Structure formats: structure tokens, C-alpha cells
Amino acid sequence: MSTQLGVLAMYMPGRKLEELSFYRKLSVYGQKLGVDVFVFTPDDVDDNRSRIHALAYNQATRSWTRRWIGFPPIIYDRCRYHGADNYRKITRFRQKYTKLRYLSRPLANKWNIHRLLSENENIAPHLPSTVHYKNRKQLEQFLKKHPIVYMKPKSGTGGRGIVRLQRLRGGRGYLMQGRDAERRILPATKVTAARIPVRLAGWGLQSKYIVQQGIPLELKDGRVHDYRMLVQKDGQGKWQVTGCAGRIGPPFSVTSNLHGGGTAISMETMLKNRFGTEEKVKSIKEAAYTLGLHIAQHLEAKFGTFCEAGIDLAVDPSGHVWLLEVNPKPSRDVFRLTGDLQTYRKAIRRPIEFALHLLEKKAAPKTDTKLLNLAPQSQQSESH
């Protein structure tokens, strides 16, 4: 008898599911491993009869069909909120069904993640200086310390609403550029420190923003780059670095997100182009992989069991590795786009293997059900 895995998703406008091609691949791999994958949203749940009108992929007909099922024994949460209405729906679902077993869980927002990670002596040296935005005076003091500063929504995703400020020579103000809430590129503009909050009026800075030391990310052609690492639990329940790849932003963009027009490149190629020697490339890669595992282990100790994290890293010109962001619902497209299909397939397969491992253990870890209620709710979701 096959096992069931539920995938908790969210409808976009027009009842579309954002990651349907990923769910299809997940279903195909699931069937090979004896797991039936069912995709559903909170809207598909019949609360009165404790059943779900779920989507199942039929490989023979290459089509999705709906079936009434009971609640699967384990659920892979891929919900991305996209607005207050969806956020309310998923919060209500989690509060109602606390006894369900989850393969993944919401983490905290960027500010709280930063504070938690800074407690760990292995991670702290890799964290850029970061403050919660308070007022213009605090921003001006921060800008005096750091020639490049990023302002980020603490719960933002996909590069939305990120602003980069670069100090101009001779103290003649700042070059301000970034992306608005719709991911549109904001053209570079010269501003004074006093004008920054005015320019961003209506963005709700006090409640929503963090201010972070900028790491030099420009390549020789002026485009920015970073690295996306995928850290996952394997079939034995151990953390593994599934892979890491470089991302290069489009011209005039301050972010490298693939959904914002970025391109993917292998980590080795990117590092070799920048640092040349094999030894340097090897040492940077080792430092990055060690950091990724430390981050996953530390967050698991704080929040309880979860299956994966996307970790965005920067490598400065000296070769030092910096953490930019942690995403609890990571995409794996970066590996497909670099042509590393072996890693891409492993990235799809691992959540299913870990689900089987948890179900084989039968009894849930004691921390899980308690922490489902304690885990900070946030509107953080995947950054591509």
C-alpha cells in the first residue's frame, strides 16, 4: 500500500497554482518511491467532514484530476502568501489543524532570523551588520559607517521592495536604486539622506524594513551576483548540501533573483572566473558548505524539524562568505537552469525521501506539535 504526502499550496488569481510543474515532478518521483502526492489549498478542505478535494497527477494521461481524500499522514507546506487574504487563510488552517505533521514549517522574518543566527559563534562572522529601521537619524548614522547599504522588507520575497544606497564620492549624497513592490526596477537616482524616507513614503519603513551593510556584489560588467545554496534533509534525516549555484542579476538590477530576470551559472565557474586558483575556489566552497549546514542545524534547534532551506550567500572580493538571506520555501530551478540535472532531480526527490524517513520513525519528535504553535508566523516565503 502506498503512502500519501499532502502538498499544501495557495491559489493565485484565477485558481492557478504557482508551482504546478514542480508538483508534477514531485508526483512522478513520489510514485517511483511508493508515495502518492496530493496537492491542496485551505480552500479545498471540507472542515465538516474532515476531507480534502485534492489534485492528483495521473502519469498515464499526463493530467491532473481531483479526488476526495482524508488528511494525509504528512504535509509539505509550500504556501506562498501573496496578500493578506491568503495569509489569513493559511494562518487559520495552521491554527485549526495543529495536530497534523508537517515536513516544513514557517520560519521567522528576516530580522528575527538575523537575531537568532547571530547567537551562534560559527555563523555570526558571516552576518552583515543589520538593524531594524527606526528613523532617518539612525539610517544616516548607518550610512556613514557603510559605503553601500541595502534596505529590505523584513518579510519581503523575490527581491520586491529592496533598495540599494551607495555613498557618492565627496559626500554628495547617495545613489539610490532598487525594485518596487511589484519587482519593477527603480532607475538609479541621486538623493540626499533626508530625501530617502520621502522617496519611500508609503512603503511603511518603520514596521517593515531592515537596514543592512552592503557586501560588494558587482562583477566587472557592473551586474550583481550571489549564490543560492539548497540545504535539505536526506532519507536518513541528516542535513546535506544538495547543491549551490551562482545567480547573476540583469543589467541595472540590485538583486539577482531568477524571477526578476537573473541568470544561473555553476558555482565553480563563477568562483573560478573571480578567484582563479583551484585552492581558493575549494576553500571558499568548503566555507560556504560548512556555513549552510550550521545555519540549517541552528534554525532546526530553534524551530523544530523542517526539511529544507534556500540559503542566499555572497562572496566578497577577499573570498569571505556572507549570509544574505534564508528562505524556508526554496525553488530548485537554479540547478535546472545551470544544466545540473542530477542535482535538480535530487532536490525534488529529497523531501519525499525525508517524508518516508519521518513516517518510518512513526512517533513524531516531541518538539514538533508544541513548536507548530510557537513558530513565529510570518509572510516570508520563497525568494527565487
Flag the least confident range among 3-7, 48-52, 121-125, 168-172.
168-172
Task: Note whether 380 and 110 are within 8 A (CB).
Answer: yes
Cα gap 165→149, rounded to integer Å: 5
Residue 232 has pLDDT above 70, yes or no: yes
Which DSSP string do the residues of 5-29 spell out, in sequence order? EEEE--EETTTEETTHHHHHHHHHH
Flag the least confident range among 13-27, 212-226, 320-334, 370-384.
370-384
Average pLDDT in the chain: 88
pLDDT score at 216: 87
Flag the least confident range among 280-284, 352-356, 357-361.
357-361
Minimal CA–CA distance to 247: which of 268, 231, 224, 230?
Answer: 224
Residue 182 has pLDDT above 70, yes or no: yes
**Per-range mean pLDDT, top range of 29-43, 141-155, 362-376:** 29-43
pTM over cut 0.85: yes
- R_g (Cα) of the chain, nearest Å: 21
pLDDT in tens, 194-208: 888 888 776 655 568
Mean pLDDT, to the nearest integer, of 300-311? 95
Cα gap 49→355, rounded to integer Å: 26
First to last CA, the chain: 36
**CB neighbours (10 Å) of residue 83?**
12
Cα gap 65→84, rounded to integer Å: 29
Read off the pLDDT band of 179 (50, 70, 90): confident
Cα gap 55→7, rounded to integer Å: 10
Burial class (CB in 10 A: 0-12, 13-18, 19+), 369: middle
How large is the angle between the packed helices 110-117 and 278-303, nearest 10 degrees?
Answer: 100
